[in-house]
C-alpha cells in the first residue's frame, strides 16, 4: 500500500512489532492493514538498511523522507497557475476554464495540474475572495449605478447657505473601473445626465445597466417585473443598452455598486471632509482628480489596477457611443381630451382630433414638444412654458377649422362682395352682440341664403330689413320666402290684407 494511504505512525508500528519477532500476519492484524502492505514496508526498510533501533528516533516527516526520498510535495512537482490572472481572464467573452487550462498545459507540459485539480484549486482560491467578488462579470456587460449615502455640503458664496450635493457612482462589472460625480439631486434630470456623462467617461456603453429601485429608475418596484421610468428608459434605449434593476432586498444583485460606493466614500469623500466648496463645478473638478488616483491604485489580490483592467477587459468590449450625446427628453403618458389637446406643465398642445380619448406619449425637450402614438410621431409643437393653448389647424375637425377662421373682418369682407346693404346689416349685427362669435351663426345663415336665392336678392332683403329695423336671420329668410325683396320699398301694403305669420305685421311695420 502506498505510503500516502497509510500514516507514518502505522509504518513505525510495523517496524516496532517486527523487531519484537511477531510474524507478518500477526502484525497486519494488530495494525489493521493488509498483509501485502506489511511485507512491502519491511522490504523497503531492509532495502535501505533501516533498523527499528534507528527508526524509533525519527519523526514522521524524517521517516517518510528515509523510506521514500524520491517523493516530493505536490506543490514542488506541479507549477501552480496564476489564479489572479485566470480570474481576470475568465471575465472575457467566450473565455472558459477549459481554454485557460489548455493554455496552462502548453506552457508547463511536464509540470501541469490535471484539469480536475486545476478547477478545484481555482475554486479554493475564489473562496478566499470577498463575497461581493465571487460573481464573474463579463467584459463590457454590466454597469452598476447608485448614489453614495454621504452628501457634500456646498456653500452659496452670496448668502452663505449650505446646500447638499448628491454623489452619483457608476462601476463596470469586469474591471471595477469607477466613475463618480456630484449633482444637486437624485431627480430624473440629474439621474439621466449623470448616466450620459458616465458613458462619455468610459468611452462606450455597456449591454446592461443595473440601478437600484429608486424612483428615478423604477416607477413601480417589483421583484419580477418592475416598471422602468419612461424618461430613463428612453435614454437607455438611445445607447442601445438594457435596464435590469436590482431586486428589492437582494444585495448580491448590486454588490458591485455597494462596493464601489464604499470605495468612493473611503478614498474620495473622506478626503474632502475638511474642504469647503462654493460651487458644484469646483467639487466635481476635485472629485475627478481623486477619481483618477482611485482607478490607478493597484488591486490587493488581483493583478494590476482598475485602469489597467479597464483597458484590457471593458474598454474593448463596450459598445461605441452615438455621434451625439443624448439630449434630455422628459417622457409622459397622457390621454387625449375631448378637445383633442394634451396637457404638459399647464400648457395644452393639440393632436389630430381622431385620437380623442386615446393614450399618447409626450416627449418634452428643451425647445420642442413631440407627441407619439404607437411609436409614431403624430404632432410637434414649439414648447411653451406659460399656461395656455397651442393649436394647429390641421388637428381640428373640419367644422372647428372653419369656425377657427371666422372673425369680424372676414364677415365684413364677405358682406362687401354682396353689397352695401349686406355690409351695413352685418355691421349692425356685430354691434348688437356682446361677442363677435354670437353673430357667426347668423352669418352662416346669410351665407346659405346667398347660395339659395343669389347675392342680388340677399342684398335687396338686407336693404328692406334695415329699412324696417329687423336684424335677425329669420327676418331676412321671411322676406326672401315672401318675395318682399322684389317689391319696391315705396309700395304700401293694404291694411285689410292680413298675413297669418308672426313675422308679417302690416305695412307700418315694414315702413
Q: pLDDT-derived band of residue 437, with 50, 70 and 90 as boundaries? A: low
Q: What is the pLDDT of residue 134?
A: 47
SS3 readout for 65-76: HHHCCCCCCHHH
- Contact between 165 and 182 under an 8 Å Cβ cutoff? The reply is yes
C-beta atoms surrounding 220 within 10 Å:
11
Q: pLDDT-derived band of residue 287, with 50, 70 and 90 as boundaries? A: very high
pLDDT at 330 over 80: yes
pLDDT tens profile 452-480: 899 999 999 999 999 988 888 889 999 99
List of residues 6+ apart from 351 with CB closer than 8 A:
336, 340, 341, 342, 360, 371, 373, 378, 379, 395
Gyration radius from the chain CA atoms:
47
Domains defined along the chain, listed by start? 8-71 (1.10.10), 76-128 (no CATH), 142-317 (3.30.420.10), 330-396 (no CATH), 406-510 (no CATH)
pLDDT tens profile 69-122: 754 454 456 778 888 788 877 777 667 888 888 888 888 877 788 888 888 888
Does residue 438 or residue 317 have the better pLDDT?
317
Q: What share of the chain is helix, strand, coil (3-state, %, to 5)?
A: 50, 15, 35
- The percent of residues above 70 in pLDDT, for the chain, comes to 86
Does residue 65 or residue 298 have the better pLDDT?
298
Q: pLDDT-derived band of residue 405, with 50, 70 and 90 as boundaries? A: low
Q: What is the pLDDT of residue 436?
A: 66
pLDDT at 345 over 80: yes
C-beta atoms surrounding 141 within 10 Å:
18
SS3 readout for 163-232: EEEEEEEEEECCCCCEEEEEECCCCHHHHHHHHHHHHHHHCCECCEEECCCCCCCEEECCCCCCEECHHH
Mean pLDDT of 33-48: 86
User: Per-residue b/e over 156-195, b at no fewer than 16 CB within 10 Å?
Assistant: eeeeeeeeebbbbbbbbbbbbbbbbbbbeeeebebbbbbb
Q: What is the mean pLDDT of the chain?
A: 83
Q: What is the pLDDT of residue 496?
A: 35
Amino acid at each position: 500500500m502506498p505510503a500516502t494511504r497509510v500514516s507514518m505512525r502505522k509504518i513505525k508500528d510495523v517496524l516496532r512489532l517486527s523487531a519484537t519477532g511477531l510474524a507478518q500476519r500477526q502484525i497486519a492484524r494488530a495494525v489493521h492493514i493488509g498483509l501485502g502492505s506489511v511485507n512491502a514496508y519491511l522490504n523497503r526498510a531492509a532495502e535501505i538498511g533501516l533498523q527499528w533501533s534507528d527508526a524509533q528516533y525519527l519523526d514522521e516527516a524524517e521517516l517518510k523522507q528515509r523510506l521514500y526520498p524520491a517523493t516530493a510535495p505536490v506543490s514542488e512537482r506541479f507549477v501552480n497557475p496564476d489564479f489572479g490572472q485566470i480570474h481576470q481572464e475568465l471575465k472575457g467573452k467566450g473565455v472558459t476554464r477549459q481554454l485557460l487550462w489548455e493554455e496552462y498545459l502548453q506552457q508547463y507540459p511536464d509540470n501541469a495540474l490535471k484539469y480536475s485539480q486545476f478547477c478545484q484549486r481555482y475554486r479554493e482560491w475564489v473562496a478566499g475572495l470577498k463575497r461581493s467578488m465571487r460573481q464573474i462579470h463579463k467584459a463590457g456587460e454590466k454597469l452598476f449605478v447608485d448614489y453614495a449615502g454621504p452628501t457634500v455640503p456646498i456653500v452659496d458664496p452670496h448668502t452663505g447657505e449650505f446646500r447638499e450635493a448628491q454623489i452619483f457612482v457608476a462601476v463596470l462589472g469586469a474591471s471595477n473601473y469607477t466613475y463618480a460625480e456630484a449633482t444637486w439631486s437624485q431627480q430624473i434630470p440629474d439621474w439621466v445626465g449623470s448616466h450620459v456623462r458616465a458613458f462619455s467617461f468610459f468611452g462606450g456603453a455597456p449591454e446592461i445597466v443595473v440601478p437600484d429601485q429608486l424612483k428615478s429608475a423604477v416607477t413601480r418596484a417589483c421583484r419580477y417585473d418592475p416598471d422602468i421610468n419612461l424618461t430613463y428608459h428612453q435614454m437607455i434605449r438611445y445607447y442601445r443598452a438594457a435596464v435590469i434593476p436590482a431586486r428589492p432586498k437582494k444585495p448580491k444583485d448590486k454588490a458591485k455598486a455597494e462596493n464601489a460606493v464604499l470605495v468612493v466614500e473611503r478614498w474620495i469623500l473622506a478626503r474632502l471632509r475638511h474642504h469647503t466648496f462654493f460651487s458644484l463645478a469646483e467639487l466635481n473638478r476635485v472629485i475627478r482628480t481623486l477619481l483618477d488616483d482611485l482607478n490607478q491604485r493597484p488591486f490587493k489580490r488581483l493583478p494590476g489596477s482598475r485602469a489597467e483592467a479597464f483597458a484590457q477587459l471593458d474598454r474593448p468590449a463596450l459598445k461605441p457611443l452615438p455621434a451625439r450625446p443624448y439630449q434630455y427628453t422628459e417622457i409622459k403618458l397622457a390621454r387625449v381630451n375631448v378637445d383633442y389637446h394634451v396637457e404638459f406643465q399647464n400648457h395644452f398642445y393639440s393632436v389630430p382630433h381622431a385620437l380623442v380619448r386615446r393614450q399618447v406619449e409626450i416627449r418634452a425637450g428643451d425647445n420642442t414638444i413631440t407627441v407619439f402614438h404607437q411609436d409614431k410621431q403624430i404632432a410637434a409643437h414649439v414648447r411653451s412654458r406659460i399656461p395656455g393653448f397651442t393649436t394647429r389647424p390641421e388637428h381640428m375637425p373640419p367644422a372647428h377649422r372653419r369656425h377657427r377662421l371666422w372673425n369680424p373682418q372676414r364677415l365684413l369682407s364677405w358682406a362687401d362682395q354682396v353689397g352695401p346693404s349686406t355690409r351695413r346689416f352685418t355691421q349692425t349685427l356685430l354691434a348688437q352682440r356682446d361677442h363677435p362669435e354670437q353673430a357667426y351663426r347668423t352669418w352662416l345663415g346669410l351665407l346659405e341664403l346667398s347660395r339659395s336665392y343669389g347675392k342680388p336678392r340677399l342684398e335687396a332683403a338686407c336693404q328692406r330689413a334695415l329699412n324696417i329695423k329687423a336684424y335677425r336671420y329669420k327676418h331676412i329668410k321671411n322676406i326672401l320666402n315672401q318675395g318682399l325683396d322684389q317689391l319696391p320699398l315705396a309700395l304700401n301694403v293694404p291694411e285689410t290684407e292680413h298675413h297669418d305669420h308672426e313675422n308679417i305685421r302690416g305695412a307700418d311695420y315694414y315702413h
